[in-house]
């Protein structure tokens, strides 16, 4: 005779985010889901912009339940509060985890009405948001249970600009270092398809094409470096509102044959495997996921010290940093790596060691699960 065993019900977590395009915060959702304890947690995902859905398939393949509550702008998102509450009640959600300011506002309004525990992850510094976004974030910030900051800079910014009464927990972003490993064969194959010589040095980036990344300046840096190094090729992976401007800038600089722009790519490992150097020119950052992915893929790093970047890269140890206001010095730093293959390879190995030791996704997921458990 079998004895019935009591099985603890799973803790149901609902992630709310504006879109599921390929941004840093969005990319983390399927990656963390792969490592979460599925016997303890069940994960649901709500998003609002139906045309930004690149991460939906990856989340569903990892076992998440995804629903789009269609909205075309931020105000329409706010009007979806009742629909979110209906979803929470229908699916017996225990915890809401929101990402980025407008989804955060939606979640806080939900919390005000039905008191479900709400966690909000802040991925950027308050100073970098539009005035209206920043004001709403500040006015509603305490209408939640707790907040997560993805870097020390982000945590300081919250405390300085908002001075919240709710707890702010620092949980550093992480990367799946088991998954993001360099694939030399895939890199060679992709180089051949793009017509990049096997002995060329490739400097690349992967980003949403928007202001904070300063990608026009990235092209200017590449142009200066390429004048000294005819075997230098560029790779800009991504898409975004500044795409047309960047395509025109590439043409103006005469770089159409030297800088390849393959568009948005859901499968990014082969593209990182093409890159010898990963370069960032950002003016501000939280703690960029693409940087951690590139480091895990053994790309040598040259970057501005924007936001949480300086918490990751130790200058001269794991990569090369320049002050965020001195991005024009990047061509000289690139020279160091282009001219010295041994140094370039050594920095790539050091970069991977750094993320394995301090920025693994397993550590991040474990810390998030501790927060979830503390709220049940």
Does residue 137 lie within any of the structural domains? yes
**Are 54 and 93 within one domain?**
yes
**Residue 25, pLDDT score:** 87
**Are 202 and 273 within one domain?**
yes
Residue numbers of the domain that contains 67: 11-174+360-374
Does residue 220 lie within any of the structural domains? yes
Provide the number of structural domains found in the chain: 2
Does residue 263 lie within any of the structural domains? yes
**Are 26 and 38 within one domain?**
yes
**Residue 240 burial (C-beta neighbours within 10 Å; 0-12, 13-18, 19+):** middle
Does residue 222 lie within any of the structural domains? yes
**Are 28 and 160 within one domain?**
yes
Q: Model-level pTM?
A: 0.81
CATH number of domain containing 246: 3.40.50.2000
**Residue 6, pLDDT score:** 60
Instruction: Give the span between the Cα atoms of 375 and 363, in whole angstroms.
Output: 19
Check: CB of residue 154 under 8 Å from CB of residue 125.
yes
pLDDT, tens digit, 9 for 90 and up, residues 33-52? 999 999 999 999 999 999 99
**Are 307 and 211 within one domain?**
yes
Does residue 2 lie within any of the structural domains? no
Q: How far lies 276's CA from each of 33, 84, 241, 309, 346, in Å?
A: 29, 45, 27, 19, 11
Does residue 179 lie within any of the structural domains? no
**Are 161 and 292 within one domain?**
no
- With b for 16 or more beta-carbon neighbours within 10 A and e for fewer, the 181-220 pattern comes to ebbeebbeebbeeeebeeebbbbbbbbbbeebbbbbbbbb
> Around Cβ 231, how many Cβ atoms within 10 Å?
12
What is the four-CA torsion angle of 325, 170, 290, 26, rounded to 10 degrees?
-120
**Are 244 and 190 within one domain?**
yes
**Residue 1, pLDDT score:** 44
**Are 119 and 138 within one domain?**
yes
Location of structure tokens 């983390």: 28
Assign 3-class secondary structure to 261-328. Answer: EEECCCCCHHHHHHCCEEEECCCCCCCCHHHHHHHHCCCEEEEECCCCHHHHCCECCCEEEECCCCHH
Q: Which residues of the chain have pLDDT under 70?
A: 1-7
**Are 65 and 51 within one domain?**
yes
Does residue 329 lie within any of the structural domains? yes
**Are 160 and 226 within one domain?**
no
**Are 369 and 338 within one domain?**
no
Does residue 91 lie within any of the structural domains? yes
**Are 193 and 220 within one domain?**
yes
């Amino acid at each position: 005779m079998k004895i019935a065993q009591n099985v603890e019900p799973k803790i149901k977590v609902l992630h709310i985010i504006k879109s599921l395009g390929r941004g840093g915060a969005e990319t983390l959702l399927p990656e963390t889901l792969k490592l979460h304890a599925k016997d303890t947690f069940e994960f649901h995902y709500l998003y609002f912009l139906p045309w930004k859905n690149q991460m939906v398939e990856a989340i569903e393949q990892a076992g998440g339940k995804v629903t789009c509550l269609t909205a075309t702008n931020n105000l329409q998102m706010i009007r979806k509060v009742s629909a979110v509450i209906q979803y929470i009640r229908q699916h017996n959600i225990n915890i809401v985890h929101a990402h980025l300011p407008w989804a955060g506002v939606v979640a806080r309004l939900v919390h005000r009405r039905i008191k479900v525990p709400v966690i909000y992850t802040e991925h950027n510094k308050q100073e970098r948001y539009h005035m209206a976004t920043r004001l709403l974030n500040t006015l509603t910030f305490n209408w939640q249970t707790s907040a997560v900051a993805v870097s020390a800079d982000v945590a300081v910014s919250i405390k300085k600009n908002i001075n919240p009464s709710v707890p702010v927990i620092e949980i550093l972003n992480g990367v799946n270092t088991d998954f993001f490993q360099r694939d030399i064969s895939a890199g060679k194959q992709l180089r051949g398809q793009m017509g990049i010589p096997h002995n060329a040095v490739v400097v690349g980036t992967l980003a949403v094409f928007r202001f904070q990344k300063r990608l026009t300046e990235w092209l200017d840096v590449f142009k200066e470096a390429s004048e000294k190094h005819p075997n230098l090729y560029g790779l800009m992976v991504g898409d975004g509102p500044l795409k047309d401007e960047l395509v025109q800038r590439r043409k103006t600089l005469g770089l159409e044959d030297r800088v390849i722009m393959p568009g948005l790519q859901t499968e990014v490992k082969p593209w990182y495997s093409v890159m010898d150097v990963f370069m960032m020119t950002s003016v501000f950052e939280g703690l960029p996921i693409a940087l951690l992915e590139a480091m895990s893929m053994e790309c040598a790093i040259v970057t501005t010290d924007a936001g949480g970047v300086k918490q990751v890269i130790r200058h001269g140890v794991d990569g090369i940093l320049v002050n965020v206001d001195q991005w024009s010095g990047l061509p000289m730093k690139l020279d160091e790596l282009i001219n010295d293959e041994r140094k370039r390879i050594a920095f790539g190995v050091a970069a991977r060691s750094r993320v394995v030791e301090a920025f693994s996704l397993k550590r991040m997921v474990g810390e998030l699960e501790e927060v979830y458990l503390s709220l049940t």
